[in-house]
Amino acid sequence: MPAHDPLPPLAGLPRAHLDWRSDDGGMSAPHSSAFDDVYFSRHDGRAETEHVFLEANRLPERFRAWPEGRPFVIGETGFGTGLNMLCAWACFDAHAPDHARLHLVSTELYPLERRDLARALEAWPDLAGRAAALLAQWPEPVSGVHRLWLDKRVTLDLHFGDTTERLRCLDGRVDAWFLDGFAPARNPDMWQPTLFAAMAARSRPGATFATFTCAGVVKRGLAAAGFAWRKVPGFGRKREMLAGEILDPPADERRRATPWFTPPAPCPGQRVAVIGGGIAGTSVAAALARRGVPVTLIDREAPGAGASGNRQGMLYVKLAAETNDQSRCYLAGLLHSRRWLDALDPDGTLWHPCGVLQLATGPREAKRQARFLDNHPLPESVVRAISSAQASQLAGIPVESDGLEYPLAGWVRPDALCRRLAATPGVTLQRGEVHDITATPEGWRLSMTVDEGASELEADQVVIATASLANGFAQTAELPLQPVRGQVSSLTLPEGAPAPNRVICAGGYVSPPLEGQLTFGATFRPNETDARVSDADHRTNRDELTRTLPGYAAALEASGASLDATTLEGRAAVRAASPDKTPYAGPVPDAAAWREAYAVLAKDATRIPDIAGQHHPGLWISTAHGSRGLASAPLCAEVIASRICDEPMPLEAPLVDHLHPGRRLIRDLIRGG
């Protein structure tokens, strides 16, 4: 039995094809050429949305009375122009108490171009501020989940792809459904029994729905899935519509094949301690604080003092030629980090989206890249093939190899980024080295050393984010981690010396200069933990630079720059890697309980016990980000924060499972390890 439905291809999506039609009053509205239907009523689309979706789901009164610490979740089948969601946001702001949060989840197979989206929403000037927030973060048309932060209380997850497929992959539960989409007669592929079954499976008890249609196929599909429906007055010239609810949603059948990944129940209490001040820890701390959760961030030195302490770090990915879950996670992470950095630092003081050139310096890599492009028809705004001549023009220096360009990638100042995140309101910084964590009836007790003295801290929940040291606690000791020493080299460029204006990657990398310093590297030394800078590693970095960019290395030396290892500056640090090179992000499994519950897998992997996996309550981990942490840690932070706060997840369910820290325990049990 498969753990999940297969994920759809990792690819770009077709854009919506629109024409614009005016009514007698001259109002222009978008019309779908593919479905020969309107996105909203040309007579009064806003009033129709409010009647059909807001009032029929009783949103004003439900928002006013919202008692939960978790957000209210709205699910929508068909984002279209975003009018429904913007109206729901406005309704939430008008009625919800200050503590409340709103989480919007919407699917879309044919996303609009940004310019068409802007034009469609111009009709409602009072929504202009909200529309601007949406437009500023409008994602590339790539299949998958795209998280947008519309404001401090409102989050939007856009699930790009087929609606039913997307809802079957959704890891989260919905309180109210906007059952939208082009009319059943125009879009029969969407209005299928599988859609209603997927909605039911992703509903919370008592979830409501509303839809403009009264078509028989809709009524039958809803009833078969467990929804109670009733006819209510429609809008305008439409006499009737449907509304209803589901009181007893079905269980999540996906967990029959992977019971070990069953999420732990939400823990009471919201005091969270995050151990580790690198990019993994500070991004978790900031994600939780943004949700109003008080966080104590603990580091033995200071934010960004360890492996995240370089002045420049590369925001990049290297994706597999054949689609796998690791590549899906990293591409999602790259796109996520780009939006996240845009929102966090719109002035670009901490980062620069200069683009990354990934060179094919030999025939084998050239073939791999060609295979990757054949297997992944992604938009050129995400990745495209380039010749050596194009690479030279883009980089501004001689480049001798063809390759790939990732226009959305670039470089970041990780040390400064960690400090910025640690300063997020709601985060309290505590210097100390935690050497033991102990479960208590109320949560966790952290024992640590502070200025050579002993100290203790109580917390309801704990997130461990200490790179290669993350398995140094009793609860995490069985998580396999490999330390990897890496060293970067840098030199001060003479006046007039050539410099790349793109990050260039091959066996190593070189980045555009920062404040006159050119940084290149980095070495890769598995199982080494010595963080002292060595001339030998400087020579390795110099040789890799010369091998990758011989023309540029010669131009550097001709300008008076010295590549002699004894004159280079640098920094070394120890990162962490997992055996499968995917990060660990999620709840910490109780390894002893898993071995007992799932021992039968060693004899027969098809005999899956009906036992939910036990986890250490309120204990989480984010580690093994390796050299690509800027593309993985912020998204992993959202995975952890979303689970702690009982929200829909920012990735498809199979990818959340792929990141689960217990995956190696199950693998080893099956293989008899």
Q: Which residues contact 568 (CB under 8 A, 6 or more apart)?
A: 489, 490, 491, 538, 541, 542, 562
| 208-233 pLDDT, tens digit each | 999 999 999 999 999 999 999 999 99
- CA geometry: angle 396, 399, 401, nearest 5 deg: 145
Q: How far apart are CA 620 and CA 643, in angstroms?
A: 10
Whole-angstrom CA distances from 302 to 279, 446, 575 are: 12, 18, 17
Q: What's the CATH architecture for 259-307+416-473+579-671?
A: 3-Layer(bba) Sandwich (3.50)
Q: Which residues contact 453 (CB under 8 A, 6 or more apart)?
A: none
Average pLDDT over residues 342-362: 96
Average pLDDT over residues 49-76: 96
The structure tokens listed for 467 are 């790179």
pLDDT number for residue 478: 94
Q: What is the CATH number of domain 356-407+482-577?
A: 3.30.9.10
Cβ pair 285, 430 in contact under 8 A: no
Using the predicted structure, report yes or no on whether residue 25 has a pLDDT greater than 80. Answer: no
Among candidate residues 590, 583, 582, the one with its CA nearest the CA of residue 637: 583
Q: How far apart are CA 309 and CA 277, in angstroms?
A: 10
Average pLDDT over residues 393-404: 97
User: Which run of H or of E encompasses 121?
Assistant: helix 114-121
Sign of the alpha-carbon torsion through 416, 418, 423, 425: positive
Q: How far apart are CA 542 and CA 557, in angstroms?
A: 12
Domain boundaries, the chain: 18-246, 259-307+416-473+579-671, 356-407+482-577
The structure tokens listed for 62 are 């439900």
Among candidate residues 224, 229, 233, 237, the one with its CA nearest the CA of residue 197: 224
Q: How far apart are CA 507 and CA 495, in angstroms?
A: 28
Using the predicted structure, report yes or no on whether residue 59 has a pLDDT greater than 90. Answer: yes
Residue 226 φ/ψ region, left for φ over 0, alpha for ψ in the -120 to 50 degree band, beta for the rest? left
Beta 525-526 vs 482-492: how paired, if at all? antiparallel
Average pLDDT over residues 86-93: 98
| 105-148 pLDDT, tens digit each | 999 999 999 999 999 899 899 999 999 999 999 999 999 999 99
Among candidate residues 401, 321, 319, the one with its CA nearest the CA of residue 359: 401
Q: DSSP characters for 165-179?
A: HHHHH--S-EEEEE-
Using the predicted structure, report yes or no on whether residue 607 has a pLDDT greater than 90. Answer: yes
pLDDT number for residue 535: 96
Cβ pair 203, 242 in contact under 8 A: no
Q: How far apart are CA 116 and CA 19, in angstroms?
A: 10
Q: DSSP characters for 483-535?
A: EEEEEEEEEEPPTT----SSEEESSSEE---BTTEEEEE---EET----S--H
Omega cis (within 30) before 522 = yes
pLDDT number for residue 30: 75
Cβ pair 193, 222 in contact under 8 A: no
Among candidate residues 276, 344, 324, 314, the one with its CA nearest the CA of residue 640: 276
| 405-431 pLDDT, tens digit each | 999 999 999 999 999 999 999 999 999
Output phi, psi for 669, to 5 deg.
-65, -45
Q: Given 2.60.120.10, 3.40.50.150, 3.40.50.300, 3.30.930.10, which CATH number is that of 18-246?
A: 3.40.50.150
Average pLDDT over residues 320-326: 95
User: Which run of H or of E encompasses 619?
Assistant: strand 615-623
Q: How far apart are CA 538 and CA 647, in angstroms?
A: 46
Paired with 275 in beta bridges are 298, 464
Average pLDDT over residues 642-650: 97
pLDDT number for residue 248: 96
Residue with tokens 């630092």: 345
Among candidate residues 147, 498, 506, 485, the one with its CA nearest the CA of residue 316: 506
The structure tokens listed for 149 are 């932060």
Q: How far apart are CA 459 and CA 445, in angstroms?
A: 6
User: What is residue 377's DSSP assignment?
Assistant: -
Residue with tokens 């048309």: 141
pLDDT number for residue 7: 87
Whole-angstrom CA distances from 666 to 102, 577, 613 are: 36, 18, 11
Q: How far apart are CA 229 and CA 222, in angstroms?
A: 7
The structure tokens listed for 619 are 């204990």
* Strands (DSSP E) found in 27-101: 28-32, 37-38, 72-77
Sign of the alpha-carbon torsion through 182, 183, 186, 187: positive
pLDDT number for residue 33: 62
672 band by pLDDT with thresholds 50, 70 and 90: confident
Whole-angstrom CA distances from 624 to 415, 465, 475 are: 18, 9, 17
Residue with tokens 């796998």: 324
Beta 102-108 vs 72-77: how paired, if at all? parallel
Paired with 622 in beta bridges are 585
Q: What is the pTM of this model?
A: 0.95
Q: How far apart are CA 535 and CA 168, in angstroms?
A: 53
The structure tokens listed for 76 are 């929508």
Mean pLDDT, the chain, rounded, equals 93
CA–chain centroid gap for 372, Å, is 22
28 band by pLDDT with thresholds 50, 70 and 90: low
Burial of 149 (C-beta count, 10 Å sphere; 0-12/13-18/19+)? middle
188 band by pLDDT with thresholds 50, 70 and 90: confident
How large is the C-alpha radius of gyration of the chain? 26
2 band by pLDDT with thresholds 50, 70 and 90: very low
Greatest mean pLDDT among 16-25, 168-177, 230-239 lies in: 168-177
Using the predicted structure, report yes or no on whether residue 452 has a pLDDT greater than 80. Answer: no
Average pLDDT over residues 289-301: 96
Any idea of the CA torsion for 531, 533, 536, 542, to the nearest 10 degrees? 120
**Percent of the chain residues topping a pLDDT of 90:** 86
The structure tokens listed for 558 are 């001709």
- CA geometry: angle 633, 639, 641, nearest 5 deg: 100
Q: How far apart are CA 153 and CA 266, in angstroms?
A: 20
Q: How far apart are CA 134 and CA 111, in angstroms?
A: 13
pLDDT number for residue 182: 64
Cβ pair 583, 625 in contact under 8 A: yes
Q: Which residues contact 93 (CB under 8 A, 6 or more apart)?
A: none
pLDDT number for residue 646: 97
| 456-473 pLDDT, tens digit each | 999 999 999 999 999 999
